[in-house]
Amino acid sequence: MKLCSVASGSSGNCIFAGTDSTSLLIDTGISGKRIEEGLNEIGHTTKETDGILVTHEHSDHISGLGVISRRYGIPIYATRGTWKAILNCKSIGEIPEGLFREIEPDQDFTIGDITISPVSISHDAAMPTAFVLRQGKKSMAVMTDLGKFDPYIIEKLQHLDVLLLEANHDVHMLQVGTYPYYLKQRILGDKGHLSNELSGQLLSEVLHDGFKGVILGHLSKENNYERLAYETVRLEIDLADNQYRAKDFPIHVAKRDTVSDIIEF
C-alpha cells in the first residue's frame, strides 16, 4: 500500500492512498491545479483516481472537490450528512449528483482492491468520518479533525501498519495566540482538533510490534510548528506506560504546502 500527503494542515488537506491497482484521494481541500501537480510528483494523475473519500464538509477538505469532480467524474464517497452539507457550500460550485456514493460509519465498502472502514469522529461538522483502509493483511488509517478520542477510536486503530494522525496545535501556543476566544474554545473542545499531547497519547494506545510509522498531519499554521509537534509526540510516547519508545519507528510530519515523502509498505 502507499500513503502520501499531498497537502495537510488547517489551510488545506489532500491525501493520496493507494495500491498498485487502486488510487484514492482522501479529501480535496486544495485547488485542482495543486492536486494535479501533487499527484504528478508521485507518478500519478487525477484522472486515474478511482474514488474521492470525503471526511467532512469544512472548506479545508473540499475546496477542490467541485473542480475535480466536474472535470473527471470521479465517484465521491461520503456520509449522507456530509453530502448534504457539501451541496450547501455554494463556493465550490456545482457537483454532479450522480457521483455521490453514500457511506455509513462502521459499514465497510470496497474500491478496487482496498476495503475501507469509515470511522465516526467527534468534530463540529454534519456527519464526519475518518478512514481505515485495508488491502489483504496490510492496513493504514487517516485520522484527522477530531476533538477527542475514546475506546471506540482506539479500537479502530489497532494493528495498523501506518497511521496519518492529527497533531493540530500546541495548547499553550493556542491559548496565548491571537485567535478570538470563541475559536480557541472551538479548537480545544470535544468537537475541535487533537493537540500534540493528545495525538501522542492516542498514538501510544495503538502502538504494536508491527507498527511501521506515523505521519503527523493537519498542523495549525498559527498554533504549531513541525519540530514542536514532533518533539511533543515523541515525549508522550516515551512517557506512556508501555514497552514502546519513539525511537522504535519513524515519525514523519506532513508538509502544509508541499508533497510529503510517499510511504510504501
| The three cell numbers locating residue 82 | 456530509
Least separation in angstroms between CB 17 and Zn ion: 17
Please list every residue from 41 through 60 that binds Zn ion, using CB under 5 A: 58, 60
Which span (34-42, 69-77, 145-153, 178-186) binds Zn ion, by CB under 5 A? 145-153
> How does strand 263-264 pair with strand 2-7?
antiparallel
> How does strand 129-135 pair with strand 138-143?
antiparallel
> How does strand 109-111 pair with strand 114-120?
antiparallel
Question: Does the footprint of Zn ion cover residue 145 (CB under 5 A)?
Answer: yes
Least separation in angstroms between CB 232 and Zn ion: 19
Least separation in angstroms between CB 239 and Zn ion: 27
190 C-beta neighbours (distance < 10 Å), count:
11
Shorter beta-carbon distance to Zn ion: residue 60 or 161: 60
Shorter beta-carbon distance to Zn ion: residue 156 or 169: 169
Spatial separation of the C-alpha atoms in residues 128 and 84, rounded to whole Å: 12
Least separation in angstroms between CB 82 and Zn ion: 11
Shorter beta-carbon distance to Zn ion: residue 22 or 129: 129
Shorter beta-carbon distance to Zn ion: residue 10 or 23: 10
Instruction: Find the residue with minimal CB distance to Zn ion.
Output: 58
Judged by CB under 5 A, how many residues of this single chain contact Zn ion?
A: 3
245 C-beta neighbours (distance < 10 Å), count:
12
Least separation in angstroms between CB 192 and Zn ion: 9
Shorter beta-carbon distance to Zn ion: residue 85 or 207: 85
Least separation in angstroms between CB 189 and Zn ion: 12
Least separation in angstroms between CB 61 and Zn ion: 6
| The three cell numbers locating residue 112 | 478496487
Least separation in angstroms between CB 123 and Zn ion: 6
Closest CA to 77 of 131, 29, 32, 126: 131
Shorter beta-carbon distance to Zn ion: residue 2 or 123: 123
Shorter beta-carbon distance to Zn ion: residue 145 or 161: 145
Shorter beta-carbon distance to Zn ion: residue 1 or 254: 254
Which span (78-86, 139-147, 183-191, 208-216) binds Zn ion, by CB under 5 A? 139-147
Q: Are 143 and 164 in contact (CB under 8 A)?
A: yes
| Binding track, positions 55-84, relative to Zn ion; x by CB under 5 A | ---x-x------------------------
Q: Based on the number of CB atoms within 10 Å of its own CB, is 197 exposed (0-12), middle (13-18) or buried (19 or more)?
A: middle
Please list every residue from 95 through 114 that binds Zn ion, using CB under 5 A: none
Residues that bind Zn ion (CB under 5 A): 58, 60, 145
